[in-house]
Amino acid sequence: MQLVEYVCMFDKEENDPEKVEGYQFSVYNNDEEIISIPLSIDFQGKARTRFIVNINGLNVKAPGKLIFQLGKGKQVIKEQIIPVSLRSTAKIETS
Segment 27-38, tens digit of pLDDT: 999 999 999 999
Look at residue 89 and tell me if it is in a domain.
Answer: no
Look at residue 95 and tell me if it is in a domain.
Answer: no
> Which 3 state secondary structure label does DSSP give 87?
coil
Contacts with 16 (C-beta within 8 Å, 6 or more apart), sequence order:
43
Look at the chain and report how many structural domains it folds into. Answer: 1
**pLDDT for residue 59:** 85
CA 68 remoteness from chain centre: 4
Contacts with 95 (C-beta within 8 Å, 6 or more apart), sequence order:
none
Look at residue 93 and tell me if it is in a domain.
Answer: no
Look at residue 13 and tell me if it is in a domain.
Answer: yes
Can you give the pTM of this predicted structure?
0.80
Give 20-65 pLDDT, tens digit per residue: 999 999 999 999 999 999 999 999 999 999 999 998 988 888 999 9
Look at residue 17 and tell me if it is in a domain.
Answer: yes
Give 58-88 pLDDT, tens digit per residue: 888 899 999 999 999 889 999 999 999 877 6
CATH code, domain with 78: 2.60.40
Q: Where are the alpha helices (DSSP H) in 1-95?
A: none
Which residues span the domain enclosing 75?
A: 3-84
